[in-house]
Structure 1
Amino acid sequence: MIRLRRSLFITFFSSNSAMAMQFGVTLVLSRLLTPAEVGIFSITAVFIGISHTFRDFGVTSYLQQEKDLTHQKIRSAIGLLITTSWIIAAFIYFASDYVAAYFGQPGIGAVMRVMSISFTLLPFASLFYALLSREHQAGKQAIVNLLSTIAYAITCIALASLGFSYMALAWANVANIAVSILTYIPLRPNGISLMPSFRGWRNPIKFGGGSIIGSLFEDIYISIPDLVLGKLNGPHSAGLYSRANGLVGIFLQIAGPTVTYNALPYIARNYHALAPLGAMLAKSTSYLTGLAWPAYILIAVFAEEIIGLLYGKSWIEAAPLVVFICSASAARIGYILCQPALTAIGKPYLFAISTSIGIIARLILIYMMGAKDILTLALALCIADLLTTPVAALLMARYLGYSIRMSAAAHIPSVKVSVFCFMIAFMLKILLPSEWPEILVLPLIGISMGSTWLIGILYFKHPLVDEIPSLLKRIFPQRLALRISQFIKTGKANA
């Protein structure tokens, strides 16, 4: 448990340092690139994301959850990764012109050809990532994230400034992966051979066959907005939706790497040790919703102010979309561990049930509502997500011992805190003068909402309160941390 907490702590701060740099890049690019240029890359990213599913073939997850991981199994895994990745790289390269012609955007083809280079490099990065995460080697992973993100930022901003347009994003991704591999080499676990083996594929293929279905459906599920908007409305609308979705996704960019890096191997170890998973998932749900829901409320209520300050007035059309995306994300966040948990117990294919129903619901709602404009599409997707979220809850109840009653109980503390936060946010929205500049309003809102959230978790005794002592010990000397913790819990400090 101590090792896991340390890994969580390191992953949180390293991933957020990387996220802060990437966010800074986004702010700069918002002034250098138009929504249409961003939209071209977003549409291309859909096909790259789906291709990643076939490239990885579930091997990364297999390496993290395999109980008895031998050197031969590792060699077999790298052999399978190289084979699938290079085949997909060739497919992306030769299919680029056909995809570009379908959307009527030659730039899509150019981005795909550059991104195919990444697929020739990814097998080695994936192998090292899986082995380090399996052992919770977050410190080494932090070094890789830092250096690769710096390479991404420098490449992206430099090329965009020189007029490379959306191609700057493509080449920045190649630079990111190349630097990752160079950094991984001296940090890789001892005794790991990079010599691939082309035998012994049975176990990773058996596992990957189930994993690939769930991952593929998840990629399609996520890709629907970009595919529909890119075809019906063009790259401008796709770029606006991408920016709105990126703004809402800030929370997952902050907390997501911490959760996903540690969740699968940790749950797998508890499952192999026959430990019950329900209580662990309930605690995680309370933590995630307790942090995410107030953040979504803040973003939804003040979307126009945030977008205006961060991205500029040319992106203000994205503000109305944020409310719908926040609502759908809030419903799904409590069950974000469904996929890694099912993968950890060796049943990755089960998650395909949830995502396939979600895909069908999204397509039906888009068709029924005639969602040809961006706002109607966002509403249709929101309704579909709200209607299909219970599927993940039922899967977790059936296979993970996380009952509906446990799930409801885990959500209730966060509901109380979120209602309190919404009331304060709504009051601030009404009371703050509209003529005040965003650069003055947003810091005031941030301080007010941060204080509101802290008061809420303390007053309603949210489970997050239990983590305050651990956090304080990492910030303050031990004796001072104990006094502060005692004061927070009882209102009195020990002498």
Structure 2
Amino acid sequence: MIGLRRALLFSVTERYVALTLNFVTVATLARLLTPEEFGYSVIGAAAIGFAECLRDFGTSGFLVQTRVATRHASRTAFTVMLMLTLMVAATLWAAAGPIAGFYEKEGLTAYLHVIAFGLLMGPFAAPPLALLRRDMQFKAVAIINISSAVSIALVTVSLAVMGASYMSFAWGILAGATVTAVLAVLSHGDMRIFRPSVAEWRAVLSFGGYSSAAGMFWKLQEFAPSLIIGRLMDFGAVGLFSRAVMVCQLPDKCLLNGLMPVALPALANEARAGRSLASAYLTATAYITAVQWPSLLLLACLAHPAVLILLGGQWVSIVPLVQIISLGLLACFPTVLAYPLLAAAGGIRHAMIAALFGLVTSVSLALFASQWGLTGLAFGMVATVSLQACLSLYLIRLYAPFRLGELARALRRSAVAAAASGAVPAAAVALNGFDFAFSIPEGIAIGIGAVIAWIAAIRWSGHALAAEIDLVVEMAGRAGRMLREDIRARNEIRARGAAASGSRAEGT
């Protein structure tokens, strides 16, 4: 448990630092670039997301979940990824022109060429990072990812200020990929894993085929609405919708993203030890919903000041989209741990089926709902999330059986915390004449009140998260005392040194 908490601490710290950097970057770029320029970055991000899924081919997940990660397995994973990366990068480079022509945006060609070059760094970064995660070495992983995030932020913002427009995103991604690869190689240290080998190709391809397909389907689902908007509407609409989704994903990125890198190694360890995955899933889901549900309710009520803080006044038209999507995401809690649990339990084929179902549903509903504009697409996204949550819950119970009554009991304290914290912004909206247009100071004040109500509800309901909050407070207090003692000791040393210097001066 201590090792898991330590891993979570480093993972959460990494994610918060990266999120802060991303917040500063997005807030700055939102004031430097137009929605259309952001549209370029969304299409480019979709291309790199698909390319990443193809070239990774599930090799990272294979190294994390396999029972014994031999050197031959690591070398085979590197070899498979290297071969696929060369093919994918070449294909993306050649397809850059046709893709730009499809969207009638010539500037996409150069953007995708830079992205294709950046893919070449992946085979030297992913296997070492996967092995570090498998060994729960999340301190090293955090240092690598934070360094990469700093590089991306500095390069992207600097180039945008200098007038590089949407190309600043591409060069930032290339800088981050290079830094990640260099630091991953240096941190792992064993250069022998980069010797080509196909000794365990059957095991790698067996897991990787399903995992890669699942990753590709998830990426297609994630970007399907934006790709459809880019073709049926315009790049300005792509920028608006993508920023609305980004704001809605902020609670998960703030509160849950630190969990995901640790989830697969931790669940894989549970499976290898023969312990109950159902118990681990229910406990983790109780923790997740205790922070996810209140934050989404708060965002739905404070969407206006949240958009003002993150993006600026020129983006307030996306506030209704943010409210629709954030409320819809309340139903997505079963999917948060679906992939790591299925992968750890040997159900990677079912994870692929769930991803395919989500893709088909997303595309179908997006095409149908696009006739009602961005609002229709937002409701289509909500419907997709709800249907996928139902399927994920069904598949999870195949590999980690539990009754729905057990799930309800695990979630009831989270529901109490969500209701108590959500009552604060709901009351503020009612007192404001049911107007959501709060100022930034008002939004901050309401948010603080909601957090206080949430802490009180967590303690009153006896939620298991209360013990973790107490532990964090205790650790923070201990760190504060150590810092004060260190400062006091240094001041005493300086004082003694100054006194001794004064005595010597008087004697002279």
Q: TM-score, normalised by structure 2?
A: 0.90
Shift of 1:469: 2.9
Query: Residue 443 of structure 2 aligns with which residue?
Result: 442
Shift of 1:478: 9.7
Query: Residue 132 of structure 1 aligns with which residue?
Result: 132
Query: Residue 463 of structure 2 aligns with which residue?
Result: 462
- Asked if 2 retains the 8 angstrom alpha-carbon contact of 1:289 and 1:334, the reply is no
Query: Residue 30 of structure 2 aligns with which residue?
Result: 30
Matched, 1:183 2:179: no
- Asked if 2 retains the 8 angstrom alpha-carbon contact of 1:81 and 1:123, the reply is yes
Secondary structure of 1:203's aligned partner: helix
Secondary structure of 2:456's aligned partner: helix
- Go from structure 1 to structure 2 and tell me whether the alpha carbon gap of 1:47 and 1:478 turns closer, same or farther (over 3 Å shift): closer
Shift of 1:260: 1.6
Query: Residue 375 of structure 1 aligns with which residue?
Result: 375
Query: Residue 337 of structure 1 aligns with which residue?
Result: 337
Q: Deviations over 1:282-334 (max 9, x none)?
A: 11111111101111111111111211233112111111111222123221124
- Go from structure 1 to structure 2 and tell me whether the alpha carbon gap of 1:194 and 1:317 turns closer, same or farther (over 3 Å shift): same
Shift of 1:224: 1.3
Shift of 1:479: 13
- Asked if 2 retains the 8 angstrom alpha-carbon contact of 1:65 and 1:265, the reply is yes
Shift of 1:63: 0.5
Secondary structure of 1:249's aligned partner: helix
Shift of 1:27: 0.6
Counterparts of 1:200 and 1:56, CA distance in 2: 16
Counterparts of 2:378 and 2:440, CA distance in 1: 28
Q: Deviations over 1:68-104 (max 9, x none)?
A: 1111111111111111111100011000111111111
Counterparts of 1:395 and 1:437, CA distance in 2: 42
Counterparts of 1:479 and 1:305, CA distance in 2: 33
Counterparts of 2:406 and 2:190, CA distance in 1: 42
- Go from structure 1 to structure 2 and tell me whether the alpha carbon gap of 1:368 and 1:91 turns closer, same or farther (over 3 Å shift): closer
Q: Deviations over 1:425-480 (max 9, x none)?
A: 11112335979973321221221111111112112222211212321232123999
Counterparts of 1:207 and 1:55, CA distance in 2: 14
Secondary structure of 1:462's aligned partner: coil
- Go from structure 1 to structure 2 and tell me whether the alpha carbon gap of 1:67 and 1:24 turns closer, same or farther (over 3 Å shift): same
Counterparts of 1:210 and 1:146, CA distance in 2: 30
After the TM superposition, which of the residue ranges 50-59 and 453-462 deviates more from structure 2? 453-462
Query: Residue 346 of structure 1 aligns with which residue?
Result: 346
Query: Residue 488 of structure 1 aligns with which residue?
Result: none
RMSD between superposed Cα atoms in Å: 2.1
Shift of 1:228: 1.2
Counterparts of 2:56 and 2:123, CA distance in 1: 8
- Asked if 1 retains the 8 angstrom alpha-carbon contact of 2:365 and 2:384, the reply is yes
Query: Residue 473 of structure 1 aligns with which residue?
Result: 474
Query: Residue 222 of structure 1 aligns with which residue?
Result: 222
Secondary structure of 1:258's aligned partner: coil
- Asked if 2 retains the 8 angstrom alpha-carbon contact of 1:78 and 1:127, the reply is yes
- Go from structure 1 to structure 2 and tell me whether the alpha carbon gap of 1:367 and 1:313 turns closer, same or farther (over 3 Å shift): same
Counterparts of 1:113 and 1:461, CA distance in 2: 54
Write out aligned runs for 1:72-471 (5 A).
72-190=72-190, 192-369=192-369, 371-431=371-431, 438-471=439-472
Secondary structure of 1:67's aligned partner: coil
After the TM superposition, which of the residue ranges 388-397 and 101-110 deviates more from structure 2? 101-110
Count, aligned residues? 480
After the TM superposition, which of the residue ranges 376-385 and 156-165 deviates more from structure 2? 376-385
Q: Deviations over 1:257-277 (max 9, x none)?
A: 422211111111111111111
Q: Deviations over 1:334-370 (max 9, x none)?
A: 4310111111122212012223222333334344445
Query: Residue 486 of structure 1 aligns with which residue?
Result: none
Query: Residue 490 of structure 2 aligns with which residue?
Result: none
Q: Deviations over 1:163-220 (max 9, x none)?
A: 1111101110110011112222321155753222244311101111121222222112
The code of the aligned residue for 1:461 comes to: G
Counterparts of 1:286 and 1:278, CA distance in 2: 12
Counterparts of 1:402 and 1:207, CA distance in 2: 26
The code of the aligned residue for 2:465 comes to: L
Counterparts of 1:297 and 1:213, CA distance in 2: 33
Query: Residue 487 of structure 2 aligns with which residue?
Result: none
- Asked if 2 retains the 8 angstrom alpha-carbon contact of 1:214 and 1:350, the reply is no
In structure 2, stretches of 5+ residues that fail to align are 482-508
List structure 1 segments (4+ residues) > 6 angstroms apart after TM superposition.
433-437
- Asked if 2 retains the 8 angstrom alpha-carbon contact of 1:62 and 1:204, the reply is yes
Q: Which protein is bigger by CA-based radius of gyration?
A: 2
Shift of 1:233: 1.2
In structure 1, stretches of 5+ residues that fail to align are 481-495
- Asked if 1 retains the 8 angstrom alpha-carbon contact of 2:308 and 2:440, the reply is no
Aligned-residue sequence identity (percent) comes to 26
Q: TM-score, normalised by structure 1?
A: 0.92
The code of the aligned residue for 1:467 comes to: E
Q: Deviations over 1:133-162 (max 9, x none)?
A: 011111111211221111111100110011
Counterparts of 1:114 and 1:84, CA distance in 2: 18
- Asked if 2 retains the 8 angstrom alpha-carbon contact of 1:396 and 1:403, the reply is no
After the TM superposition, which of the residue ranges 183-192 and 224-233 deviates more from structure 2? 183-192
Secondary structure of 1:329's aligned partner: helix
The code of the aligned residue for 2:312 comes to: G
Counterparts of 1:304 and 1:320, CA distance in 2: 9
Counterparts of 2:478 and 2:127, CA distance in 1: 39
After the TM superposition, which of the residue ranges 243-252 and 426-435 deviates more from structure 2? 426-435
The code of the aligned residue for 1:222 comes to: E
